[in-house]
Structure 1
Amino acid sequence: MTRHIRHAAFFCALLMIALLVNAARIQLFKARTYDDNIANRRTTIARYGQPRGDILVDGRPVTGSQDTGEHLRYERTYTNGPMYAPVTGFASQMYGTTLLEATEDGVLAGTDPLLSPFPVWSGAARDRHPGGDVATTLRGAAQKAAFEGLEGRKGAVAAVEPSTGRILALVSAPSYDPSALSGNGSSVPRSWSTLNRDRDKPMLNRAVRKTYPPGSTFKVVTAAAALDAGVIEDVDKPTRSPDPYTLPGTRTRLTNASEGCENAALRKAFEWSCNTVFAKLGVEVGAERMAATAQAFGFNRADLRIPYSVARSTFDREVDRAQLALSSIGQFNTRATPLQMAMVAAAVANGGQVRTPYLVERTTRAGGGTVSTAGSSPVRQAMRPSTAARMKELMVDVVREGTGTGAWIPGATVGGKTGTAQHGLGNSGTPYAWFVSWAQGDHDAEPKVAVAVVVEDADPDRGEISGGGDAAPIARSVMEAVLKSPAPRAP
């Protein structure tokens, strides 16, 4: 009998060891597989079982969490949702997360190991902590000015601080309210379907996810390339440019909207946006140098994140001379996001240096302790400082007495460039109205803001569709808001 008891005890011990080994295997090696299994509701219930951290503008939350008392307890709420949607994105119990809600989800949902005082152990244990906060670089006053400026129109605005790369405003219109997608009720799928069927694509972030032909605003890049290459040495010397200009190797004649462009000096050609002068300059600079300068400004870069991804702005390297002429005035295959064109204006304002743009200033724990800060952004030299100084003069002339007088601000120095971009089959679409600019208050040591505005549905009743008439007033209101708002608090 004793022998049988020993065998039974030994067998039970083996079973216990097997159970412990299996439990260890599941908890240590297979836990992630079970966590990620679509049938496992525990992770989802835990995710929405506590309030989500907030996204901050000027130190104040533009998001919140509402206790529904349901199985998935907390739903996301948004303050001024349509105004901030191109920044926050949405956090939906049914459709996941986008934009900052997605890229900063670990901090906001409380799963980032850095939220723990002991991040190494927390990462291994997969603990959930109270959601942290994400402080953005936005200026609320600038965001509001951009949003109200585009009200009832289709387009986008991007504003950056030239010396740092901080994004001060990012607006896309038409927009939508992310709150409509937050919960899991029957209204959420209906809202999702309505938004996705809308021809105006309100969920498309036009400021960073859509590229446009930049039109004459690209002449900033072409002028910089011509000055750096030595094709232009004196901005007041005639350029020997015919009007009209026959595109090389073709019978196509390029004309101007303004008079007096024949043989115009670069200063006057820039001031009155002479197509013929800049098309010829692009050909003289050459495709390789033009592409190199465009790339230095940020074109053809596929890895830009702010922290969510930005569509690649393009300048085609493989072009013949006629195509190069059109590319150099922002047409043919040249395309840019509004954020990219704000970077172009910022480079001029910042002595030729391009700062990589960013949207998150810092992340913090629920108690206020800092998790991470933005740090200094990389610098790239887009043009020589002497070229940037000349470009600043040219852009100031545009606002003082050229096509951009609608952007003038009393008590400040403002530089700008207008643009009208043709598009559609046979250029049949309503032209896009562009304006890029920068501003420096009379008492400021350096330019404080650079802005790009594009209006897709420019109003033909205002006369000739132009960046000066349709986009410049919006840029002016954004620049005024930045110049008048107090400096942000240090992180």
Structure 2
Amino acid sequence: MTRHIRHAAAFCALLLVALLLNASRIQVVQAPAYDDNPANRRQSIARYGQPRGDILVGDRPVTGSKDTGEQLRYERTYANGPLYAPVTGFASQEYGTSFLEHAEDSTLSGTDPMLSPFPLWSDLTRAQNPGGDVITTLNAAAQQAAYRGLGTRTGAVAALEPATGRILALVSTPSYDPESLSGNGPSVTRSWLGLNEDPARPMLNRAVRQTYPPGSTFKVVTAAAALDAGVIRHVDRPTRSPDPYTLPGTTTPLRNAAQGCRNASLRVAFGRSCNTVFAKLGVDVGVTGMAATAQAFGFNDTGLRIPYPVSPSSFDTEVDRAQLALSSIGQYNTRATPLQMAMVSAAVANRGQLREPYLVERTTTNRGATVSTAGARPVRQAMLPSTAARLRELMRGVVEDGTGTNAAIPGATVGGKTGTAQHGIGNTGMPYAWFVSWAQAEDELEPRVAVAVVVEDAAAHRGHISGAGVAAPIARAVMAAVLGS
């Protein structure tokens, strides 16, 4: 009898061990699979069961959380949603997240282990931390000035602090209110469909996700390449450039909108935006030299993140000499985001050094303790310091005596370059109006802001569209807002 009891006890012990092993297998080994199963709503219930952390501009949150009392309890709210949409993106219970809401989701949702004072204990207990906050680099006054300046036009503005790479403004119009996508009801579905079907594409972040032909603003890059390569040794000497200039290997003449471009010096050609001079300079520098300079400014960089990805700006490295000539005046296959062109202007302002742009200053816990900071950003020499000094001089001339006088700010030193980029089949599309610039207060040693503005649909007669008339006043407003902050 005793033997049978021992056998039964051993069998029960074996069953208990098997039960514990199976429970461990489910809780440890198979837990990720159950967590990721679409039928498991516990993750979603937990995710929206507490307020989301906030995104701040300065010391003011531009996001919030609303208690709906439903199973997915908290929905995202936005203050001045259309103004900050290109920065915050959306956080939707139905359609996920985008931009900073996506890139910083682990902080905002509270899933980042660094938010817990005891990360290992939180992992073991699967406890959820309160959402942390994300403090941006934005200057609220500059952001508002850019948004007001664009108004009902389609376009974008990017502004940087040259010495650090901090993004001071990032605006895209037309915009939308991210709060319309926050919940999961029928109205959210209608908003999503309406925004995606809108031909104006309000959800497109034109400042970092749309590339344009940069037109004459790219001549800053071409001038830098020519000066660095020694093709130009003195900005006031003739460049031996014909007008018109026959594209190499073709019978196609390239002409100028301005007069007095034949054999013009670099100073005159820069001020009058002579296509013939810069096309020939690009050919004289060569594909290798032009590509190296463009890439030093950030073109062809597929890894740029701010922290969300930026569409790469492009300079074609496999072109013949005629195509190189057109590429060197910002046409053919040359494409740039507004952020990229702000980087070009910032490098000129910062003695040729280019700081990688960034949008997040630091992240904190919900109690304000710092979790992470941006730290020092990588720097590269986009051009020689002497070249940058010459370009600053040339850009100052454009604003003081040339086509960019609409960007002048009393009591400040401003440099700029206008651009009118052709596009479409046979250049039949409405030209894009560009302006890139930098500004320095009279009592400061270095420029404090660099700006790029592009306007797609300038409300003017085609022949009157220009960066000087349309984009320069917007840049001036942004620069004045930064200098006045």
Please give the TM-score of this superposition, normalised by the length of structure 1: 0.97
* Structure 1 match to 2:320: 320
* Structure 2 match to 1:256: 256
Q: State the one-letter code of the partner of 1:384.
A: L
Q: Deviations over 1:131-152 (max 9, x none)?
A: 0000000000000001111110
* Structure 1 match to 2:457: 457
Distance in 1 (CA, whole Å) between partners of 2:168 and 2:119 is 32
Distance in 2 (CA, whole Å) between partners of 1:194 and 1:307 is 28
* Structure 2 match to 1:45: 45
SS of corresponding position for 1:117: coil
Residue 38 of structure 2 is aligned to residue 31 of structure 1: no
* Structure 1 match to 2:162: 162
Distance apart, 1:288 and its partner CA: 0.4
Q: State the one-letter code of the partner of 1:332.
A: Y
Q: Contact 1:111–1:126 at 8 Å: present in 2 too?
A: no
Q: Contact 1:52–1:64 at 8 Å: present in 2 too?
A: yes
Q: Deviations over 1:201-228 (max 9, x none)?
A: 1111100001000000000000000000
Q: State the one-letter code of the partner of 2:381.
A: Q
Q: State the one-letter code of the partner of 2:293.
A: T
Distance apart, 1:122 and its partner CA: 3.0
Distance apart, 1:8 and its partner CA: 2.5
Distance apart, 1:160 and its partner CA: 0.4
Q: Superposition RMSD on alpha carbons, in Å?
A: 1.0
* Structure 2 match to 1:377: 377
Distance apart, 1:3 and its partner CA: 3.2
CA gap of 1:297–1:123, structure 2 versus 1, over 3 A, is farther
* Structure 1 match to 2:298: 298
Q: Contact 1:225–1:285 at 8 Å: present in 2 too?
A: yes
Alignment of 1:429-448 (within 5 A): 429-448=429-448
* Structure 1 match to 2:212: 212
Distance apart, 1:59 and its partner CA: 1.3
Distance in 1 (CA, whole Å) between partners of 2:461 and 2:484 is 32
Distance apart, 1:119 and its partner CA: 2.3
* Structure 1 match to 2:239: 239
* Structure 2 match to 1:401: 401
Q: State the one-letter code of the partner of 1:393.
A: E
* Structure 2 match to 1:111: 111
* Structure 2 match to 1:179: 179
Residue 308 of structure 2 is aligned to residue 281 of structure 1: no
SS of corresponding position for 2:354: strand
* Structure 2 match to 1:144: 144
Q: State the one-letter code of the partner of 2:314.
A: T
Distance in 2 (CA, whole Å) between partners of 1:300 and 1:181 is 34
Q: Deviations over 1:258-317 (max 9, x none)?
A: 111111110010011010100010000111000000000000000000000000100011
Q: Contact 2:431–2:462 at 8 Å: present in 1 too?
A: no
Distance apart, 1:5 and its partner CA: 2.9
Distance apart, 1:13 and its partner CA: 1.5
SS of corresponding position for 1:445: coil
Q: State the one-letter code of the partner of 1:43.
A: Q
Alignment of 1:479-490 (within 5 A): 479-485=479-485
* Structure 1 match to 2:59: 59
Distance apart, 1:16 and its partner CA: 1.3
Distance in 2 (CA, whole Å) between partners of 1:375 and 1:153 is 36
Residue 196 of structure 2 is aligned to residue 199 of structure 1: no
Distance in 2 (CA, whole Å) between partners of 1:320 and 1:476 is 38
Please give the TM-score of this superposition, normalised by the length of structure 2: 0.99
Q: Deviations over 1:27-85 (max 9, x none)?
A: 22221111111111000000000000000001110000000000100000000000100
Distance apart, 1:2 and its partner CA: 3.4
Count of residues paired in the alignment: 485
SS of corresponding position for 2:377: coil
* Structure 2 match to 1:343: 343
Distance apart, 1:121 and its partner CA: 3.8
Distance in 2 (CA, whole Å) between partners of 1:277 and 1:455 is 26
* Structure 2 match to 1:488: none
Distance in 2 (CA, whole Å) between partners of 1:6 and 1:68 is 59
Distance in 2 (CA, whole Å) between partners of 1:443 and 1:124 is 56
Q: Deviations over 1:172-204 (max 9, x none)?
A: 111110000000111000000000000111111
Distance in 1 (CA, whole Å) between partners of 2:105 and 2:406 is 41
Distance in 2 (CA, whole Å) between partners of 1:157 and 1:404 is 17
Q: Contact 2:430–2:462 at 8 Å: present in 1 too?
A: no
Would you identify which runs of 4 or more consecutive aligned residues in structure 1 move more than 6 Å?
none
Distance in 2 (CA, whole Å) between partners of 1:392 and 1:287 is 25
Q: State the one-letter code of the partner of 1:458.
A: A
Q: Deviations over 1:346-390 (max 9, x none)?
A: 000000000000000000001111100000000000000000000
Distance in 1 (CA, whole Å) between partners of 2:225 and 2:336 is 17
Structure 1 residue ranges without an equivalent (≥5): 486-491
SS of corresponding position for 1:43: helix
